[in-house]
Chains A and B, each alone.
Chain A
Amino acid sequence: MDKRREFKIAFLLAAIFAGFYFLPVGQARFDGSVTEALELTKWYAREHVILCLLPAFWIAGAIGAFVSQTSVMRYLGPKANKLVAYGVASVSGTILAVCSCTVLPLFAGIYRMGAGLGPATAFLYSGPAINALAIILTARILGMPLGLGRAIGAILFSVIIGLIMAFLFRREEQNKHANAVAMPEDNDGRPLRVTAAFFATMLGILIFANWGGGDSGSGFFGAVYSIKWHLTAGFAVLFGIELWRWYAIHPARILIVAALTATAALTLPTVPSVPFLVGTLGLVWLTAGRSDEAGDWFDQSWTFAKQILPLLFAGVLVAGLLLGRPGHEGLIPSEWINSAVGGNTIGANLFASVAGAFMYFATLTEIPILQGLIGNGMGSGPALALLLAGPALSLPNMLVINSVMGPRKTTVYVILVIIMATLSGWGFGALFT
């Protein structure tokens, strides 16, 4: 018998037993928090999964399957124009960092074999913040200003951090290994306008299906809101045609899915989630199991869904338990949050940046956690600071970065991230209160 293994099991059993033995059931705060956790998770399940998360997974999957990542890396290679390299590094996270686990190898690759320290750190800072899923979910749950602030702040300050890093360590930029980089083979040359039009169609569906503004809204936003489902349906028709023309999916099968979706929409006009779900399942039926690009697209999307959904829902449960829904309290008292990160002082922004830099957020869980913090009185400035420093850094990834570029550069990088996140949060908080 393996003694260490048995001890581990015994310890685990004892811990679970002790947990239940001392479980504070019946105390108002604890019971309230459990309710909050369940309510928050229910709200996510109802409001965000079908109309927002599912299409977002398809879009992320399409980025992985249809966008040539090799062509992007060409601008980050050792011979790349430096100016171009900074620009590309700061925005390419949108398509390169669809999965958080790809950020570190790409960072190390750009640093060692590509454009060098500056662009590599620029990519490392902006990548996790501007991947497609993160932007969509931030804008949807935390609101447009924070979503845009996050994207723009990440891009802008990543270039600044990269330039400062490159300047500080300009003498140490070592000779590049003349390593041949192993690249995934390129897609067959689908014209760029085709790919662009396909993504625009998917974004159209996502944006109009999620168009907010309420029934009382007037003017442009209200007008769009009143016909949002017609617009969504229009984009869906276009989407079907594109699937047939560009991705060689049999038109008869597409028509079957379209007919089912339309039937669902006409019989249940007040529950738009149902036709949307029918359409999504139809897309699964059209793409799953094929051995061509469309099949690859499904595989990638399904991988994202498998990877992210369990983590996100665990994150939502924990966030609900600790912080409650907006306007309600969880386990952590609101005053604590208010005194640490309320308002928009430099101190609050700095605290949020430092906490975010060391804390580990599993993919996208920063969003429900921030939602809880904001509901408990966190200012919008510190919220942005946490959004910028949080996913970019964590204790575990500091260790990896350290093994790639050494303790001196890592320390400087961490300090720069904290300073930049603090400043952008402070500026944002002053603009939007």
Chain B
Amino acid sequence: MKDIKVLGTGCKKCQMLAETAEQAAKEMAIEYSLEKVTDLNAIMSYGVMFTPALVIDGEVKVAGKVPSIEAIQKLLA
């Protein structure tokens, strides 16, 4: 079970990252939970300044950009 969190205040890029991450996980047919973290203070508690950021199992994997589906799948594998 992968715990995926997308950090971002709700701008376009953050939505894009959430969609891409969801698609990546679905294609891999793994069990996952996806959560969007939009509260700025919660985002800061991850030590992230560059949004959007991708957190997998509590670890910040990507900050400040929207990676490709393949790149996210590598991170999820």
For B73, what are the chain A residues with a Cβ–Cβ distance below 8 Å? none
Tell me, rounded to whole Å, the shortest Cβ–Cβ distance linking B28 to chain A. 20
Tell me the residues in window 26-44 of chain B with beta carbons closer than 8 Å to chain A beta carbons.
Answer: 39-41, 43-44
Q: Is the CB of B12 within 8 A of A109?
A: no
Query: Could you tell me the distance between the alpha carbons of A183 and B49 in the complex, rounded to whole angstroms?
Result: 8
Q: Is B58 an interface residue (CB 8 A)?
A: no
Total contacts A to B, CB within 8 angstroms?
Answer: 80
Q: Is A306 an interface residue (CB 8 A)?
A: yes
For B14, what are the chain A residues with a Cβ–Cβ distance below 8 Å? 101
Among the listed B40, B45, B68, which residue makes an inter-chain contact with A105, where contact means beta carbons less than 8 Å apart? B40
Q: Is the CB of A182 within 8 A of B40?
A: no
Query: Could you tell me the distance between the alpha carbons of A404 and B39 in the complex, rounded to whole angstroms?
Result: 10
Q: Is the CB of A180 within 8 A of B50?
A: no
A105-B9, A306-B12 known; A403 vs B41 contact (CB < 8 Å): yes
Q: Is the CB of B40 within 8 A of A180?
A: no
Q: Is the CB of B41 within 8 A of A105?
A: no
For A184, what are the chain B residues with a Cβ–Cβ distance below 8 Å? 50, 62-65
Q: Is the CB of A182 within 8 A of B46?
A: yes
For B11, what are the chain A residues with a Cβ–Cβ distance below 8 Å? 99-102
**A54-79 interface bits toward B, Cβ cutoff 8 Å, 1 = contact, 0 = none:** 00000000000000010001000000
Q: Is the CB of B9 within 8 A of A104?
A: yes
Q: Is A303 an interface residue (CB 8 A)?
A: yes
Tell me, rounded to whole Å, the shortest Cβ–Cβ distance linking B13 to chain A. 7
Q: Is the CB of A113 within 8 A of B41?
A: no
Q: Is A106 an interface residue (CB 8 A)?
A: yes
- Nearest residue (CB) in A for B65 is A184
Q: Is the CB of B63 within 8 A of A183?
A: yes
Q: Is B69 an interface residue (CB 8 A)?
A: no
For B51, what are the chain A residues with a Cβ–Cβ distance below 8 Å? 101-102, 105
For B9, what are the chain A residues with a Cβ–Cβ distance below 8 Å? 101, 104-105, 400
For B60, what are the chain A residues with a Cβ–Cβ distance below 8 Å? 182
Q: Is B6 an interface residue (CB 8 A)?
A: no
Q: Is the CB of B40 within 8 A of A69?
A: no
Chain B: interface size category = 20 to 34
Interface of A is mostly: helix
Tell me the residues in window 18-41 of chain A with beta carbons closer than 8 Å to chain B beta carbons.
Answer: none
For A73, what are the chain B residues with a Cβ–Cβ distance below 8 Å? 49
Tell me, rounded to whole Å, the shortest Cβ–Cβ distance linking A82 to chain B. 19
- Nearest residue (CB) in A for B14 is A101
Q: Is B53 an interface residue (CB 8 A)?
A: yes
A113-B47, A182-B48, A303-B12 known; A400 vs B63 contact (CB < 8 Å): no
For A104, what are the chain B residues with a Cβ–Cβ distance below 8 Å? 9, 40
A99-B13, A303-B13, A306-B12 known; A181 vs B43 contact (CB < 8 Å): no
For B12, what are the chain A residues with a Cβ–Cβ distance below 8 Å? 101, 303, 306-307
- Nearest residue (CB) in A for B70 is A291
Among the listed B16, B40, B62, which residue makes an inter-chain contact with A108, where contact means beta carbons less than 8 Å apart? B40
Among the listed B39, B43, B46, B50, which residue makes an inter-chain contact with A69, where contact means beta carbons less than 8 Å apart? B50
A99-B11, A99-B13, A307-B12 known; A182 vs B47 contact (CB < 8 Å): yes
Tell me, rounded to whole Å, the shortest Cβ–Cβ distance linking A129 to chain B. 19
Q: Is A179 an interface residue (CB 8 A)?
A: yes
For B43, what are the chain A residues with a Cβ–Cβ distance below 8 Å? 105, 108
Q: From B14, B39, B49, B53, name the one whose CB has the most chain A CB atoms within 10 angstroms.
A: B49
- Nearest residue (CB) in B for A114 is B49
For B41, what are the chain A residues with a Cβ–Cβ distance below 8 Å? 108, 403-404
Query: Could you tell me the distance between the alpha carbons of A73 and B49 in the complex, rounded to whole angstroms?
Result: 10
- Nearest residue (CB) in B for A181 is B47
For A306, what are the chain B residues with a Cβ–Cβ distance below 8 Å? 12
Q: Is A112 an interface residue (CB 8 A)?
A: yes
Q: From B10, B11, B68, name the one whose CB has the most chain A CB atoms within 10 angstroms.
A: B11
A108-B40, A182-B60, A404-B40 known; A102 vs B47 contact (CB < 8 Å): no
Q: Is the CB of B13 within 8 A of A182?
A: no
Query: Could you tell me the distance between the alpha carbons of A102 and B10 in the complex, rounded to whole angstroms?
Result: 10
Q: Is the CB of B49 within 8 A of A106?
A: yes
Query: Could you tell me the distance between the alpha carbons of A179 and B41 in the complex, rounded to whole angstroms?
Result: 13
Q: From A99, A102, A113, A180, name the one whose CB has the most chain B CB atoms within 10 angstroms.
A: A102
Q: Is the CB of B49 within 8 A of A109?
A: yes
Q: Is the CB of B49 within 8 A of A105?
A: yes
For B47, what are the chain A residues with a Cβ–Cβ distance below 8 Å? 113, 179-182
A-B contact pairs, 11 of them (CB 8 A): A101-B10, A105-B44, A105-B48, A105-B50, A110-B49, A114-B49, A182-B50, A184-B62, A303-B16, A403-B39, A404-B40
Q: 3 nearest interchain CB pairs? A: A109-B49, A101-B11, A184-B64
- 7 extra interface residue pairs, beta carbon distance < 8 Å, beyond A105-B43, A182-B50: A69-B50, A101-B9, A105-B51, A114-B49, A181-B49, A182-B46, A184-B63
